Amino acid sequence: MVPVPESQEQHHPSIVQNITNNISQSVNVTNVINIQVNTFTKENMDYLVERLQNDPVIRNAVVLDFGIAYDLIHNNSDHPENQTIRKPVKKDDIIYVRNADDNWDGHPSKTIIPRIKENMERKLNTRFTGEQLLSNKAIREMIWQKSCSGTRNEEDILKPSYLIGSPEDELHRIALEVLDKLYTKYEQDETPIVLKNHNAITHVSICREFKQNLNEAFVEAGLEYQLSPEMKATNVSDFIRFQKPLLEFTVL
C-alpha cells in the first residue's frame, strides 16, 4: 500500500480513500489487459484440439452434442477470450458476434448460424450428428439461454452426468437407422425370415450383420463407440425384432 503521512491521515481522510480507489482501479485495469480477447472465427482452440486428440470420451461428446462443443468453445469460463457470440434478446432474430474492433455485429440467425456451425466444425475437425438438434431455431434458442445463464468451467461442462444422456440417445438413433436398412434389405430379398414378426426366429447371421453394420455406421459418423462385446446375442436378437431391450455400448 502507498504510504500516507500521518498528518494527512488525521486531517485529510479523503486522501486515503482516493489513493485506495486509485489502486483498486489500477488492479482492475491490469486484469482486463491480461485477457486477449479474440474475434469471431479467430478463437484459439489449441487447448481443446489437443484434448480431442487424446481423449475419446471428449471426442464423442463433442461430435454427438452440439451444446457441449459450443460450451467448450464459446461459453467456457476458463477461456473467456473465446466468448465471441451472444444473444441478449430472446424475441428478436439477431445474434451478435465480436468483430476485429472489439465491437459486436448483429446478424440474422439464418445467415450467422451456418457460419457458427462451419467455424466450429472446421476448428474441431469434425462434423456434428443428430440433425434434430441442429435446426436454426434450436441453436438460436440455445445461444440465447447460454447468453443469459452465463459461462461454466470445463469441469462442469464435461461432468460424466452431462456426457452420458445425449450420446446414448444418438447411438440408439443410429442403431434404428441401421435396423431400418436391414429390414428394407430383407424385404426386398423376400427372405423367409420376417424380422417384424415377433414370432419369427432371428438367425445368427442377421444378428452378426446388424452388429457389423452398426459398428461401421459409428466409424462413418466419426464416433469411437462399438456395440458392447458383453451384450448377449439374445438381447441383440430381441432388439432387432422388438427394439428392446436397449443396446449397450462401449468406448473404443
Residue by residue, DSSP assigns 35-56 as: S-PPPTT----HHHHHHHHH-H
On the CB side of 210, CA atoms within 13 Å amount to: 28
Which own/partner pairs from 158-162 qualify as long-range (CB within 8 Å, at least 24 positions apart)? 158/58, 158/61, 158/68, 158/72, 162/68
pLDDT at residue 187, as a whole number? 67
Q: Which helix (H) or strand (E) holds 225?
A: strand 225-227
Spell out the domain ranges in the chain: 46-157, 164-251
Average pLDDT (64-86) is 91
Percent of the chain residues past pLDDT 90, beyond the cut: 27
The pTM of this model reads 0.55
Least confident of 39-53, 57-71, 81-95: 57-71
pLDDT at residue 125, as a whole number? 83
pLDDT tens per residue, range 146-187: 999 889 998 888 765 444 445 677 788 888 888 888 877 776
C-alpha cell at 149: 445463464
CA–CA dist 101, 28 (Å, integer): 21
